[in-house]
Amino acid sequence: MSRFEYCYLTTGESYEDMHTLKLKGQSTALTGKLLSDVLDQLGKEGWEMVGFDSQESEHFIFFKRELRDNDGGYIRNKG
């Protein structure tokens, strides 16, 4: 059975505003980066876009990636 971790990216109205990545309760501001660059980087790190939502002036893009034992950047899979 596969296990996954999830994160989401928030953007402002224009998609070129400040982006914030939220993972495991921690926020990372990605000021000055283009959305396309952020999405490319997430893809390189194994993240797959799984959803999108808008609320008022913010947009939310949801991602998941599979947990793997052999990658120190991923949570260890104990199963």
Averaged pLDDT in 10-residue chunks for the chain of 79 residues: 83 70 81 82 90 88 82 47
Boundaries of domain holding 32: 4-66
In a domain, 39, yes or no: yes
In a domain, 75, yes or no: no
Contact 69, 78 (CB under 8 A): no
Distance of CA 62 to the CA centre of its chain: 6
Residue-wise pLDDT for 28-43, tens only, equals 877 777 888 888 888 9
Domains: count for the chain: 1
Alpha-carbon distance of 19 to 28, in angstroms, equals 8
Give residue 24's pLDDT. Answer: 77
Alpha-carbon distance of 14 to 27, in angstroms, equals 20
DSSP class of residue 11 equals E
DSSP class of residue 57 equals T
In a domain, 73, yes or no: no
